[in-house]
Amino acid sequence: MKLFGTCIILAGGKSSRMGFDKQFLKVDKRRLMYSIIQKLEDEFDEIIIVTNKPQHYIGLSQKITMDILKEKGPLGGIHAGLKLAKSQYSFVIACDMPNINLEYMRYMRLNTSAMGCTTRFGNWIEPFGSFYSKEIVPDIESYLKTEKRSINHLLMDLDINYIEEKKAREFSPNWDMFLNLNTQDDLENFLNNTQRESCS
């Protein structure tokens, strides 16, 4: 089995804060999902999209799958993706992340051990833009049998390698590599900032 061949993109959320389904989010008239796929496809042997609307991906060469454990939030998506993954570790990202940093992904890949690698920010961890091992599938299953849904909380009990904030900021001083567009305001700010950058 390959160690790092798989990337999982989560696209099965409710987008309740944004008000429209974020898997169809467009930036500069282009689907953000397609930009994310393009950015990552040379880095991974397989890309798995875990979606609640598979009919919208017909014709794409990526692997499309759905949650097995439904209505459980992102951990349900990670679970379905890891089960299908061909490699031991998968890089897991969200469909609303426009600034994925490939340099940092490669750094994390080199530092992934045991059950995965994620970034720590004080007591918080960044659950997306992290590597997780297939090994954690049974842990997710037993965790989701309880009422709990928090990725942070689950990871506390697992043997994960953490990259500390200081190191991560060398790659992204303002933390924008973890930006995720949850609200209309997030989207507007992002569009304004990128326009400003491209004008300067």
Looking at 35, 172, 180, 194, which residue binds Mg ion (CB under 5 A)? 180
What is the closest distance, in whole angstroms, from the C-beta atom of residue 94 to Mg ion in the complex? 5
Q: H/E/C letters for each residue in the chain?
A: CCCCCEEEEEECCCCCCCCCCHHHCEECCEEHHHHHHHHHCCCCCEEEEEECCHHHHCCCCCEEECCCCCCCCHHHHHHHHHHHCCCCEEEEEECCCCCCCHHHHHHHHHCCECCEEEEEECCEEEEEEEEEEHHHHHHHHHHHHCCCCCHHHHHHCCCCEEEEHHHHHHHCCCCHHHCCCCCHHHHHHHHHHHHHHHHC
What is the closest distance, in whole angstroms, from the C-beta atom of residue 182 to ligand GTP in the complex? 5
Looking at 4, 6, 8, 15, which residue binds ligand GTP (CB under 6 A)? 15
Candidate ranges 40-48, 107-115, 137-145, 172-180; the one touching Mg ion (CB under 5 A):
172-180
The contact set with ligand GTP (CB under 6 A) reads 10-18, 22, 50, 67, 72-74, 76-77, 94-96, 180, 182
The contact set with Mg ion (CB under 5 A) reads 96, 180, 182
